């Protein structure tokens, strides 16, 4: 985590982390609350050699949650992020899918979430202004 947050991350009250296990897969979900309501989150996965690897880094979001598969106890195949938008603006929902060849998560489905509908858009445009 020091590679991502700096050597003094453990004394920074804005940095939080929780360990989660999915079968034999062990992960750390960390958050940097420095920016406020929407915070950047990073998922680290413990590899077979004992090293920790970043497998997903989100832009500032209000929520990051795994999508669990019924009957599967290993790593989630997808994670979903959701922003908390300002009044009058849509939230942004991104679904990240596991890429087994690269061993990380990539954005696969992106949506603008309005009050009564969702509109799909190209993920490469997710956080353009």
Residue range 47-82, pLDDT digits in tens: 989 999 999 999 889 999 999 877 666 889 999 999
pTM: 0.86
Q: What is the mean pLDDT of residues 26-55?
A: 90
Higher-pLDDT residue of 7 and 57 is 57
User: Looking at the predicted structure, is the pLDDT value of residue 129 above 60?
Assistant: no
Domain boundaries, the chain: 2-125
Categorize the per-residue pLDDT at 91 as very low, low, confident or very high, splitting at 50, 70 and 90. very high
Q: What is the DSSP string of the chain?
A: -HHHH-TTGGG-TTEEEEEEEETTEEEEEEEEGGGSSSBEEEEEEE-TTS-EEEEEE--SBSEEEEEPPTT--SS-SEEEEE--PPTTS-EEEEEEEEETTTTEEEEEEEEEE-SS-EEEE-GGGTT--
């Amino acid at each position: 985590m020091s590679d991502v947050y700096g050597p003094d991350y453990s004394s920074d009250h804005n940095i939080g982390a929780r360990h989660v296990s999915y079968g034999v897969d062990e992960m750390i979900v960390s958050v940097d609350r420095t920016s406020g309501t929407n915070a950047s989150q990073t998922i680290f996965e413990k590899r077979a050699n004992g090293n920790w690897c970043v497998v997903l880094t989100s832009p500032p979001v209000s929520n990051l949650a795994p999508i669990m598969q019924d009957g599967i106890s290993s790593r989630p195949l997808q994670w979903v992020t959701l922003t908390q938008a300002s009044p009058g603006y849509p939230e942004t929902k991104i679904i990240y899918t596991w890429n087994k060849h690269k061993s990380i998560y990539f954005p696969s489905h992106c949506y603008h979430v309005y009050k009564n509908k969702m509109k799909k858009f190209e993920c490469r445009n997710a956080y353009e202004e």
